[in-house]
Structure 1
């Protein structure tokens, strides 16, 4: 550890002064950063205790404990000691949103990005706060040992017992466990994500394109689940359910998840990876532990085929459908490659009871989707019709015919690329061309990139799965989705 990273400890007397025992703290952290100490947490505690022999001290070693986030949420100002009092205070800059870990939500279609505000936070050192009529010195330390990243937090305060400190710690944990316009996201550790929550709010069932009888089925299997606890009890079966969304990219699985999350009005837990600092098994354990604590809730496992590896298959199955109760958990998983998923996961009821196949949209669904976009362009002042087509229905029907085998993602790109090209011409002072012919030109250009998929006729619900090499048992729905 460098000299700049070493943190001197302070006494609780005013004014605070660096004492001789800070040299001992420097040595303890040097040992920790050099890998020479196997009991760093206790040595740090001893040092803090020597600095404050007449004060109460509460010690925590929870790496996820977020006292700084809690204080910020409560608008509690803290004073990070600096200057002559602590000449070697170690602070770091972090992003102010989502704890600085991710720039964008996987649900966010917005291509724009603006840098977030930066916050200065303490890594190794001490800060002071006044909370609930009690003055606290809060020490934070980070180091590495053979187990990986380690962290220690010490609350120092005056009092006859530990009541004031215990209440503060309990308040932090209560805040950590409560979502407020947020989604739980797991990627090595759990964090609360506001950006993903905001992206979910754009979803609306009425804007989703699917075959006539599919909307009711999917909504019944998701949002209705959470008002059906008594029905499950009457049947003497566990109140849990698993739904698997199957299909190639671009056919709407993510949009479906967004609508499901928004409509359910329960906590949502989104899993990016099973990996954790202690290995994937502990990651899986942490994921299902949080889900059971949050139930009733939705647990989203996107790209299930890439999440479950052979080494973790049995562990995952045990958590998903073992002795532990998953009461009130709706597990919604997606996969682009069902043929890569173990049959013990794919075909056994009570794991994923219902499968929905998101195949390429039929012509009627493409027609509905194209009509929406043509009306949107018309509302922006784009003149679409001419001598060749007298109505949007005529033009839309021809477009749907020419886009056989296209996913919704490619259809969206068709209109976006057309509009961008048109905007570029206008910005350069060039007149816009014939709208119909320009769109057809984009169809021809983009069509070269389209990979023609399996038949998407509603009469052949298993066709896409068959071509993927996966005949999925159970109730399979063919769904076309925006």
Structure 2
């Protein structure tokens, strides 16, 4: 009898235990504390590095929250879903409650905001200062949105930047709706919006038109520099150089820099501004620190006269030629206004000890440059021998005479505008006329702009001073070469 009682009691306990396991309390309700902490626990594991495959673990947890939904995941840190939705005027609603108990919102200052110290340093008038705007972004959390007749729950996780995971949760028979949204976002990201895309083509020395001696010396002072470390050591001279390219716009300084960069296999740091959120001194220090870490390298300072402010001049000089070693750094700077550069920078040896003047091209250089373009037209199947000219060379000589005072930039524009007009004729089915006469028509049209620019420069005291500086430097360099 006792054994029977014990057996009955055992079956009763066993039945109660099974019922307890099968009861809803064994699986917490979606809005219970245990369910609401799923994201916190996942992120704790991710940030602590306790999860071997964080992406899979997060996917698994999202799937538990939405067992009957489709889930599409991305790990692209540049995926701009928020920007795409904003461009479509689609409102995002923050997920709340059991699904996302905590939202991690990050506030950042907009990129166009100026540091207050920079404002005081450069402007000096408090009434013109504009307060920086704040931008809000989601780092960890979720939101829901309707797109193309589909309702999406979207979760975003960021840990150990730039590691990022995005999960698109939606109802459907397959992943089609989510895939179409992702494709639309990427298509939008690739299209030009309120921005300018700059496409650049690297130049090489074969496309640089300069006087033979100047071209040879420029190539020697740049390309050979990085192969000369032992020579500098044997002479007990610091292995660094400073080269300054001087001249009015459009005469080949930038093209020369492109050729210098392409002609070497070392890193290049291209600087267009010293300004930073922590002031220009911090910007200068950061740039030179990075150059020393990257050496041997090329440090390009575009428009040096506009980069430097009076209060940062001595700081810049200390970084350029101070206690810190700039071993293996080739500094190449450009300027359109050498008269605006302090003499301590312009004329002090070991800073910019070599200067090259890029002035308006001579008739010989114009003819050489024009001939190069005419050969390009020939290679495209455009004949350039008119009725009056026996060869390309003869036509190039005549064209060089008619373009007195033109820069290389204007000569390039001459041939680009000709090609565009020829393409327009071809698209409308109109037969092309005599090539030489068409080019001369473009010379007449573009020549008016050249004359206007020359007249404006003549009336500008700064431009006149620049021209005197260019002539003086060219004469000085001529005396040094003799």
TM-score (norm 1): 0.59
Distance 2:116 2:450 in 1: 50
CA shift for structure 1 position 295: 0.6
Distance 2:282 2:256 in 1: 29
Residue in structure 1 matched with residue 468 of structure 2 by the alignment: 467
Residue in structure 1 matched with residue 264 of structure 2 by the alignment: 264
Does 1:361 pair with 2:361? Answer: yes
Residue in structure 2 matched with residue 413 of structure 1 by the alignment: 413
Give the 3-state SS of the residue equivalent to 1:266 in structure 2. coil
Residue in structure 2 matched with residue 164 of structure 1 by the alignment: none
Gap regions ≥5 residues in structure 1: 1-14, 25-46, 59-70, 98-123, 125-138, 155-167, 173-194, 455-462
Conserved in 2, the CA contact under 8 Å of 1:214 and 1:477? no
Give the 3-state SS of the residue equivalent to 1:389 in structure 2. coil
Distance 1:368 1:450 in 2: 20
Does 1:215 pair with 2:215? Answer: yes
Equivalent positions of 1:4-153 (< 5 A) are 52=44, 56=48, 143=108
Instruction: Give 1 or 2: higher helix fraction.
Output: 2
Residue in structure 2 matched with residue 285 of structure 1 by the alignment: 285
Equivalent positions of 1:109-258 (< 5 A) are 143=108, 199=200, 202-258=202-258
Distance 1:241 1:475, change over 3 A: farther
CA shift for structure 1 position 378: 2.0
Distance 2:439 2:298 in 1: 41
Distance 2:313 2:211 in 1: 34
CA shift for structure 1 position 416: 1.1
Which has more radius of gyration? 2
Deviations 1:388-426 (A, max 9, x none): 111111111100111111111111111111121122122
Residue in structure 2 matched with residue 341 of structure 1 by the alignment: 341
Give the 3-state SS of the residue equivalent to 1:417 in structure 2. helix
Deviations 1:136-173 (A, max 9, x none): xxx9955469999999xx9xxxxxxxxxxxxx98999x
Give the 3-state SS of the residue equivalent to 1:255 in structure 2. helix
Conserved in 1, the CA contact under 8 Å of 2:366 and 2:400? yes
Deviations 1:316-375 (A, max 9, x none): 111111111111111000011111111111111111010000011111111111111112
Gap regions ≥5 residues in structure 2: 1-27, 67-73, 81-93, 95-103, 110-114, 118-131, 140-158, 164-196, 456-463
CA shift for structure 1 position 430: 2.2
Higher relative contact order (CA 8 A, sep 6+): 1
Distance 2:341 2:409 in 1: 25
CA shift for structure 1 position 383: 2.8
Give the 3-state SS of the residue equivalent to 1:365 in structure 2. helix
Q: How many residues align?
A: 340
Give the 3-state SS of the residue equivalent to 2:405 in structure 1. coil
Instruction: Give 1 or 2: higher strand fraction.
Output: 1
Give the 3-state SS of the residue equivalent to 2:263 in structure 1. helix
Distance 1:223 1:19, change over 3 A: farther
Distance 1:50 1:328 in 2: 48
TM-score (norm 2): 0.59
Give the 3-state SS of the residue equivalent to 1:332 in structure 2. strand
Distance 1:416 1:150, change over 3 A: closer
CA shift for structure 1 position 307: 0.6
Residue in structure 2 matched with residue 296 of structure 1 by the alignment: 296
Conserved in 2, the CA contact under 8 Å of 1:353 and 1:474? no
CA shift for structure 1 position 250: 0.8
CA shift for structure 1 position 376: 1.6
Distance 1:369 1:77 in 2: 63
Residue in structure 2 matched with residue 375 of structure 1 by the alignment: 375
